[in-house]
């Protein structure tokens, strides 16, 4: 289906390793108090590590919807969030999605293993208050059980960056942290952007493409691929999505 040259894949793996060191690790953007509010470090001293203390995130903004389309299941990232705070509107074979809580959407029939690819096209319709991510997940299992759910996901945001992570219960781990790539266009002045995301699962490698361009490749051993696939959308977003397509 695709032909990938070994040197290109090796170069991308090296770039991914650099991205893990250089990128942020969260799916969403957190803001910290202004630097002026923190005590100054002594000359030559390392900056203070404030960790998560003092960080704040936007609260979910309910879109007053009815949840995901018939035949699909929606699972929020947090047990106390309601999927009905997300609004899905069918529009010519596509979904206009307003969130609401961060969540995944899938149909049980959308399961695959071995060699295959998944793809969707996502249009960002408005610029979010802070950069927020959207994309695809695959290799899903136990998705309705927060303590046991597992999947891998590939998301991007309008700043021209992508992220590859895995989820195991309530824990997530980065495969490639947030990494900018010139092949991922940034949102325009009005906040709009269009991305076709494709994940191609080969015998030993998983390839990640945006608008037909390869942006990352990771060993299959580092990313779950056998299981259910679907869409992932973070909170407080307004996007237009093509339902996921799986092909061999």
The reply to whether 179 falls in a domain is: yes
The pLDDT of 11-26, averaged and rounded, is 41
Q: Residue 60 has what pLDDT?
A: 86
Q: Return mean pLDDT, the chain.
A: 83
Residues 150-176: tens digit of each pLDDT:
999 999 999 999 999 999 998 999 999
How sure is the predictor about 115, in pLDDT bands with cuts at 50, 70 and 90? very high
Is the pLDDT at 95 greater than 90? The verdict is yes
CATH number at residue 107: 2.60.120.560
The reply to whether 159 falls in a domain is: yes
Q: How far apart are CA 216 and CA 71, in angstroms?
A: 32
The reply to whether 96 falls in a domain is: yes
The reply to whether 20 falls in a domain is: no
Is the pLDDT at 23 greater than 80? The verdict is no
The reply to whether 7 falls in a domain is: no
- Give which of 63, 64, 28, 32 is closest to 49, Cα–Cα: 32
Q: Residue 39 has what pLDDT?
A: 37
Task: For the chain, give the number of residues.
Answer: 248
Q: How far apart are CA 13 and CA 18, in angstroms?
A: 9
pTM for the model:
0.80
Q: How far apart are CA 62 and CA 100, in angstroms?
A: 5
Range of the domain at 101: 61-247
DSSP H or E run through 20 = helix 6-22
The reply to whether 168 falls in a domain is: yes
Lowest mean pLDDT among 17-26, 58-67, 131-140, 223-232: 17-26
The bridge status of strand 193-201 relative to strand 171-180 is unpaired
| Residue partners of 9: CB distance under 8 A and separation at least 6 | 205, 207, 217
3 state DSSP class of 94: strand
Question: Phi-psi region for residue 114, left (φ > 0), alpha (ψ -120 to 50) or beta?
Answer: left
Q: Residue 1 has what pLDDT?
A: 52
How many domains does the chain fold into? 1
Residues 178-204: tens digit of each pLDDT:
999 999 999 999 999 999 999 999 999
The reply to whether 51 falls in a domain is: no
Q: How far apart are CA 74 and CA 103, in angstroms?
A: 7
Is the pLDDT at 124 greater than 80? The verdict is yes
The reply to whether 134 falls in a domain is: yes
Instruction: Supply the Cα-derived Rg of the chain in whole angstroms.
Output: 18
Q: Residue 180 has what pLDDT?
A: 98
């Amino acid at each position: 289906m695709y032909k990938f040259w070994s040197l290109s894949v090796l170069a991308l793996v090296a770039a991914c390793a650099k991205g893990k060191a250089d990128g942020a690790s969260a799916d969403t953007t957190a803001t910290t108090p202004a630097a002026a509010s923190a005590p100054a470090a002594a000359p030559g001293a390392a900056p203070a590590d404030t960790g998560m203390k003092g960080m704040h995130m936007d609260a979910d903004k309910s879109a007053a919807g009815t949840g995901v389309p018939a035949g699909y299941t929606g699972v929020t990232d947090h047990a106390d969030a309601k999927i009905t705070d997300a609004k899905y509107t069918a529009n010519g074979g596509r979904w206009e999605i307003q969130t609401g809580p961060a969540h995944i959407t899938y149909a049980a029939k959308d399961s695959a293993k071995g060699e295959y690819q998944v793809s969707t096209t996502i249009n960002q319709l408005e610029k979010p208050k802070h950069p927020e991510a959207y994309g695809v997940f695959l290799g899903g299992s136990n998705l309705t059980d927060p303590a046991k759910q597992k999947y891998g996901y590939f998301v991007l945001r309008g700043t021209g960056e992508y992220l590859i992570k895995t989820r195991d219960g309530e824990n997530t781990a980065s495969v490639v942290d947030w990494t900018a790539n010139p092949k991922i266009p940034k949102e325009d002045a009005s906040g709009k952007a269009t991305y076709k995301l494709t994940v191609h699962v080969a015998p030993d490698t998983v390839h990640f493409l945006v608008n037909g361009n390869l942006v990352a490749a990771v060993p299959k051993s580092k990313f779950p691929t056998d299981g259910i696939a679907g869409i992932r959308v973070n909170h407080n977003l307004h996007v237009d999505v093509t339902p996921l397509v799986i092909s061999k």
